[in-house]
Structure 1
Amino acid sequence: MKNAETPVFKLVLFGAQSSLGSALMVELLSRQHEVTAVVDDLNRHAPRPGLHFKLGGLGDADQAEQGAAGGSAVIALLSALAPGDLAAQGRMSEALVAGLSRTTIRRVLLVGDFDVLDAPGKYTEEERECVDQVVDALQRSPLHWTLINAPQALMDLERMAAGMADMLELDLHRGEHLNFVT
């Protein structure tokens, strides 16, 4: 039973099929938030109370806008949607920023391969430019964003999911780039 005094987020989750996506859904639902997972196949998912599914993706601004419609915040697991492909993650980020600019949604968490911001020497000029364009677009947008480095293989995903839920509930780390450490 939901407590009427507790604010409820309507989270839209891109990349729900990943391990982190599953951990996020469990954490957010346990906190009595509503979750809409944007997926490419509705038949692969079992229903749960508070969990909804919608067809879509981050192919362009229209698709991003339609996927996010009805939400109060968005989490995009870019590294799950395009693992190791900074150019694709950049295009998805740009589509999401453009799509969200047409909505009332202002809070967004982007999880991607943003390590390039911490160690630019390990990346090519093209990879650095992709991430720089994402940061520039976010800084010019009205969004309240947080960039999060993709989790490492041995990371405790449940704790990361709890930390991300805390960020949303407490409105922490706006305009920041974060690493989760265990």
Structure 2
Amino acid sequence: MRIALIGATGFIGSAILKEVLSRGHEVTALVAHPEKLATAAGLTKAGADVLDQARLAAQLKGHDAVISAFSGHAQGDVHGYYVKGIRSIIGAVKDADVQRLLVVGGAGSLEVAPGVQLLDTPGFPDMYRPTAEGAREALKLLREEPHLNWTLLSPSAVIAPGERTGKFRLGADQLLVNEQGDSRISVEDYAVAMVDELERPAHARKRFTVGY
């Protein structure tokens, strides 16, 4: 498949890039600084600005799917930038007539009890709140889309570098925890779950989650 990957140099985006290239797909990496990417077989590098919807749509044309690993971590107004960016990405995907959009989501909108999201629990870290609120709004925007074929993958509460085991559980809107009560996934296995969904769609117009 021909895949456009937005945010391919980020923490999660770089893991997705490695996984998708390892499976033989052609990838156009759309990033702010393409010079940061090493040359690789099957990889095309392109500079992109997610807030320039018209230019982004032109870059997305002709791809089979778009994977967005976009985040606003480096911005002053993380939440505002995130929401503007995801609106632009959704619009560009529709303008480019790309048939699928897969989005890296957040864990904050997962339920820890009926009607209670992780983001709204006492003790949720303030440093992650702007990004988590932006990711929750991104999910809301996607759910309001009447026709777009989207999928959003939320990680577990903790996502960190680790092993690529290929062994994990999938869930829906509830936070996954293990027998010790921990909620975690390696970034490598998160990427496996995302590319599995790309190759074998099972969550059209849905959010799902991955964890051990």
For residues 94 and 20 of structure 2, the distance between their equivalents in structure 1, rounded to whole angstroms, comes to 25
Sequence identity of aligned pairs in percent?
A: 24
Corresponding position: 1:164 with 2:157: no
Q: 2:83–2:137: 8 Å Cα contact kept in structure 1?
A: no
What do residues 54-83 of structure 1 show as CA deviations (whole Å, max 9, x unaligned)? 11031132133133233111111133x436
Corresponding position: 1:146 with 2:151: yes
Bigger shift: residues 136-145 or 98-107: 136-145
For residues 33 and 79 of structure 2, the distance between their equivalents in structure 1, rounded to whole angstroms, comes to 24
* CA gap 1:82/1:60 in 2 versus in 1, 3 angstroms: farther
Instruction: For residue 176 of structure 1, report the CA deviation from its aligned partner.
Output: 1.3
Give unpaired runs (5+ residues) of structure 1.
Answer: 1-8
- Aligned residue in 2 for 1:67: 59
Instruction: For residue 148 of structure 1, report the CA deviation from its aligned partner.
Output: 2.1
For residues 158 and 133 of structure 1, the distance between their equivalents in structure 2, rounded to whole angstroms, comes to 23
For residues 100 and 77 of structure 1, the distance between their equivalents in structure 2, rounded to whole angstroms, comes to 14
Corresponding position: 1:105 with 2:98: yes
Q: Which has the larger radius of gyration?
A: 2
For residues 63 and 90 of structure 1, the distance between their equivalents in structure 2, rounded to whole angstroms, comes to 18
For residues 130 and 164 of structure 1, the distance between their equivalents in structure 2, rounded to whole angstroms, comes to 17
TM-score by length of 2: 0.69
Q: Give the alignment's Cα RMSD to 1 decimal.
A: 2.7
For residues 128 and 20 of structure 1, the distance between their equivalents in structure 2, rounded to whole angstroms, comes to 18
Q: Which one has the bigger helix percentage? A: 1
For residues 43 and 32 of structure 1, the distance between their equivalents in structure 2, rounded to whole angstroms, comes to 22
For residues 33 and 40 of structure 2, the distance between their equivalents in structure 1, rounded to whole angstroms, comes to 16
- Aligned residue in 1 for 2:179: none
Corresponding position: 1:175 with 2:175: no
- Aligned residue in 2 for 1:76: 68
Q: 1:14–1:57: 8 Å Cα contact kept in structure 2?
A: no
TM-score by length of 1: 0.79
- Aligned residue in 1 for 2:120: 121
What do residues 16-54 of structure 1 show as CA deviations (whole Å, max 9, x unaligned)? 112322221221112110011001223222211101111
